[in-house]
Amino acid sequence: MYPIVLLSVLGIVVLFLGFMKSKSVLLPATLLFLVLALASNFIDWNQGKVLYFYEMLAVNNLTLAFNAIVLVSAFMIVAMTRGFQDQEEAQPAEYYGIMLFSLVGAFMIIGYEHLIMLFVGIEILSVSMYILTGSDKSNLRSNEAALKYFLMGAFATGIMLFGIALLYGATGSFNLTDIQSYVSIQGRGVSYILYAGLLLLLIGMLFKVSAAPFHFWTPDVYDGAPTIFTTFMSTIVKTAGFAAIFRLLSHSFTPIYSFWWITLAAITVLTLLVGNIIAVYQNSFKRMLAYSSISHAGYLLIAVTSLSPQTENAILFYSLAYSIATISAFGVLMLVSKKKALEGQVDESYAAFNGLAAQNPLLAFVLAVSMLSLAGIPLTAGFWGKFFVFGSAVERGLVWMLVVAVLMSAVGIYYYFRAIIAAYLKEGDIGKIRIAPFYRIILVVATAMTILFGLAPGIFEKLL
């Protein structure tokens, strides 16, 4: 609850700081506010389940851990924005303010107890994202991405709302606990309206986390948006979205598991196939990362579908590993493509990394570790993420789904290693890239975390 209140107020403070002549105070202030929010997040730690805002928001250790992942990712991403305040047309105060507000939406959908909270939270998160996607106003690609994201997002919201209305009609309440007690009393005898409502609500939410067949907006939007906001979308929206889906299904709809798991299993397998196979054919690194984010949605869906006691840990660890690796991959891409853009050509393809290792060994190493982690190679956090996810599927006995997932992660190795091969084995004259000290620290810390959690995943469970 505290980070929600704090960031709502501090977001407005950031907007006012934008009136000052000197823009240089904005970045440190935003980072400080994020640290404050992270500190306030842990006031409720180990208090058990606490309800706030007239029982509309629940707080427990799980939601706090998700909040912390979101805040840490946001801190890293904001720290990497150094430099865009120097651009002439950029309005850094507005962007930082909107980023802080969007985090409020993320916290709301992580801990909602009432469907109004879910709806308002998703809207805060998505409307902020529409603005940030279109923030490069004179760039046609950014415009197109913003319009596509907006139309598809609003469409998904409409579907989701109709689903909520039907759920309300069937159960007579928006409260997750009331819905749960209705479903467990009725058992399999619940009315068909409830089934339809649940399906529409799930479709709306799966749209937001870009699961196939509702993924078609993802590559275009991720490709067209400014890279820094693509990073924001692919980590924070995904983490919060999966926390929300998991909360809905595990909290309210476990009694009718036999109804929804088949649908979700089909969507999972389709997401894995589509994400991984189309990613192979991409030439743009940025677009490949968009498809990779679809495929990671598939792995996370395996954990949600199996819904075993391990699931919450698996989702938590997986989203942390995925977020850190994605942030460092996009961080390297931003540096390289900025260097290329200064030389007069925007290049976000694999070829942009050619010869990276020769003069920029640090960047090449960061890129390699993040790719290994995304591919799920042992000794990185991504491996243990996949391990926990697959473990929860085994517990539920979904072995056939596991076979698909393992095959698809083998496919994944191909396209992730293309970036490593480009960086280490291909020839190219990329020149020395200057990295700001703070940027360097963030990249090193992200890489260190990936390796640390890869060597000792137990640390994470001890923290919990």
Partner 1 sequence: MMQQTPPIPEIIQAIPLQSYLILSTALFVIGIIGVLTRRNAIVIFMSIELMLNAANLLLIAFSSYKSDASGQVFVFFIMAVAAAEVAVGLAIIVMIYRNTRTIDVGFLNKLKW
Q: Does 282 bind partner 1 (CB under 8 A)?
A: yes
Options 23, 82, 141, 440; binder of partner 1; rule CB under 8 A: 141
Q: For partner 1, give the closer residue by CB, 145 or 209.
A: 145
Helices (H) and strands (E) in the chain, counts: 20, 2
Query: Can you spell out the DSSP letters for 140-179?
Result: HHHHHHHHHHHHHHHHHHHHHHHHHHHHHHHHS--BHHHH
Options 28, 172, 378, 458; binder of partner 1; rule CB under 8 A: 172
CB of 169 to partner 1, least distance (A): 4
**Candidates 44-52, 78-86, 88-96, 118-126; binding stretch for partner 1 (CB under 8 A):** 118-126
**Candidates 123-131, 227-235, 373-381, 431-439; binding stretch for partner 1 (CB under 8 A):** 123-131
The alpha carbon of residue 380 and the mean position of all alpha carbons in its chain are separated, in whole angstroms, by 19
The alpha carbon of residue 203 and the mean position of all alpha carbons in its chain are separated, in whole angstroms, by 18
Q: For partner 1, give the closer residue by CB, 35 or 151.
A: 151
Asked if 110 contacts 77 with a C-beta cutoff of 8 angstroms, the reply is no
Q: Does 113 bind partner 1 (CB under 8 A)?
A: no
Q: Does 278 bind partner 1 (CB under 8 A)?
A: yes
Options 215, 238, 287, 296; binder of partner 1; rule CB under 8 A: 287
DSSP-derived 3-state class of residue 86? coil
Alpha-carbon gap, residue 336 to 361, rounded angstroms: 13
Q: For partner 1, give the closer residue by CB, 23 or 148.
A: 148
Angle of helix 238-252 relative to helix 92-110, nearest 10 degrees, comes to: 20
Angle of helix 285-306 relative to helix 238-252, nearest 10 degrees, comes to: 10
CB of 421 to partner 1, least distance (A): 22
The alpha carbon of residue 104 and the mean position of all alpha carbons in its chain are separated, in whole angstroms, by 15
Residue 63's nearest CA partner among 89, 44, 84 is 44
Options 5, 53, 82, 123; binder of partner 1; rule CB under 8 A: 123
CB of 252 to partner 1, least distance (A): 16
Q: How crowded is the C-beta side of 72, counted as CA atoms within 13 Å?
A: 18
Asked if 369 contacts 447 with a C-beta cutoff of 8 angstroms, the reply is yes
Options 137, 262, 431, 456; binder of partner 1; rule CB under 8 A: 137
Q: How many residues bind partner 1, per CB under 8 A?
A: 44
Q: Does 463 bind partner 1 (CB under 8 A)?
A: no
| Phi, psi (degrees; rounded to nearest 5) at 218 | -55, -55
Give residues in contact with partner 1 (CB under 8 A). 115-116, 119-120, 123, 127, 130-131, 134, 137-138, 140-141, 143-148, 150-151, 154-155, 157-159, 161-162, 164-166, 168-169, 172-174, 219-220, 223-224, 278, 281-282, 287
